[in-house]
Amino acid sequence: MADPTRMPRRRGLSARWKLTLSYAAVVVVAGVGLLVAVAFYLLRYVPDVQIATQSGLFVPNRSDLIRAFIPAAAIAMLVLLAMGLGGGWIIAGRMLAPLDRIGRAAQLAAQGSLSHRVALEGPRDEFRDLADVFDAMLAQLEAHVAEQQRFAANASHELRTPLAISQTMLEVARTDPDRDVDALIDRLHEVNARAIELTEALLLLSRAERRAFTREPLDVSLLAEEAVETLLPLAERRAVVIDVGGDSAAVRGSGALLQQLITNLVHNAIVHNRSEDGTVTVRTHTLPEAVALVVENTGDVLAPDRVATLVEPFQRGAERTRGDDHGGVGLGLAIAQRIAAAHDGSLVLTAREGGGLNVTVWLPHPIAHPVPAR
């Protein structure tokens, strides 16, 4: 079936010409109606006979008036037609100017320029509302394209390393007659698992930025307890003590995404906790202005300028040690920050005095549907 958007169309009258002709037709019809009314209501009272007066003055009859009236009426109609066309052209141009600006913005968008905005001035009307909706659509498209570009750039940047490692190991194994197949399989499995982990993290980051989720009533304190319970074996292997508690904290959002946010923060606090007798503290607070989730951990001393970069993708607070299979892919805090922003909240990082990191997530109170009692 042919695509109607690709079929050639015959060029017709422009909208400006159609409106101009419509305005002119209205003016001409109104003028004709007025002249007909004048002729009907006035000329009918003039007799169509020769009128004689005692003084010998000429008194026109109906036929004389009609012969005199028709040329004047024709000239008046031509003037009205000219005024209708000229005025209609000007008025139509002014009325359609917003559509011209929207059309130019659409052409630029079709050519790949999504940063241009219509930005119509003046009070609200149908054209301004259309322009505002179009600008909002362009902003969303620009954000989605930028998100896809970031995803592609991040994925290509980070996946290049594991793919190159796999290719190198396979080439070495092909030329090595004494290769250890089991060791090769284990190493390839490790590299492949890390690539899968990275891909899933990038997809989660993209999902959070799109806000592609359904909001539901949740209790952040319950999610925090579940995250801590999940990561407790990792904390025990690393000799890190986790303390979780706080207030019942009701919010509205995606349970899966908020669970991932808390899990990322707690996981980050565990794996970067390099102090002896390290601790991780998880607290939830319900404050008048917002709900707060605080994850605090001991660890290395971090410079303030270094803390500011930790929410950027592929940034880590410390270099991974060799054989560290839980160091992550450098997206944990970036994903947490995007999830918080997608829930109309924020994520604040501060360096702890004496070493470690304090992460505070601020989330708005729920608007409706309170969280069921625990």
Residues 178 and 54 in one domain: no
Residues 40 and 165 in one domain: no
Other CB atoms within 10 Å distance of the CB of residue 225? 17
Number of domains in the chain: 3
Residues 223 and 339 in one domain: yes
Rounded mean pLDDT for each run of 10 residues along the chain, 374 residues in total: 59 82 88 82 73 66 78 86 88 83 84 82 82 87 77 68 76 78 81 76 69 84 92 88 92 87 89 80 93 92 79 55 46 82 90 88 75 44
Residues 250 and 322 in one domain: yes
Using one digit for the tens of pLDDT, what is the confidence trace for 268-284? 899 888 766 789 999 99
CA–CA distance, 283 with 360 (Å, rounded to integer): 9
Contact (Cβ atoms closer than 8 angstroms) between residue 203 and residue 152: no
Nearest to 263 by CA among 320, 315, 201: 201
Instruction: Report the Cα 311 to chain-centroid distance in Å.
Output: 21
Last residue of a domain, one of 75, 98, 113: 113
Q: Which residues contact 357 (CB under 8 A, 6 or more apart)?
A: 268, 269, 272, 296, 297, 299, 302, 307, 310, 317, 349, 350, 351
Check which CATH number belongs to the domain holding 354 and give it: 3.30.565.10
* 234 assigned to some structural domain: yes
For residue 309, give Cα distances in angstroms to 94, 303, 312, 357. 51, 10, 6, 13
Last residue of a domain, one of 210, 233, 268: 210
Residues 183 and 224 in one domain: no
Using one digit for the tens of pLDDT, what is the confidence trace for 124-144? 888 888 888 888 888 888 877
* 123 assigned to some structural domain: no
Residues 157 and 267 in one domain: no
At residue 287, the pLDDT reads 92
For residue 256, give Cα distances in angstroms to 90, 210, 226, 268, 282. 58, 15, 12, 18, 19
Residues 249 and 199 in one domain: no
CA–CA distance, 294 with 290 (Å, rounded to integer): 13
CA–CA distance, 72 with 35 (Å, rounded to integer): 10
Residues 273 and 353 in one domain: yes
Residues 203 and 74 in one domain: no
Say which DSSP state 306 is in.
H
Residues 193 and 320 in one domain: no
CA–CA distance, 79 with 104 (Å, rounded to integer): 36
Query: Bridge partners of 349?
Result: 359
Contact (Cβ atoms closer than 8 angstroms) between residue 302 and residue 295: no
Last residue of a domain, one of 169, 189, 210: 210
For residue 192, give Cα distances in angstroms to 36, 165, 271, 277. 89, 10, 21, 33
Q: Which residues contact 239 (CB under 8 A, 6 or more apart)?
A: 277, 278
Structure tokens, 175 = 């030329």
The residue segments making up the domain with residue 58 are 13-113
Other CB atoms within 10 Å distance of the CB of residue 202? 22
Residues 193 and 299 in one domain: no
* 222 assigned to some structural domain: yes
The SS3 of residue 244 is strand
| Average pLDDT of the residues of the chain | 80
* 372 assigned to some structural domain: no
At residue 326, the pLDDT reads 44
Residues 150 and 82 in one domain: no
At residue 294, the pLDDT reads 95
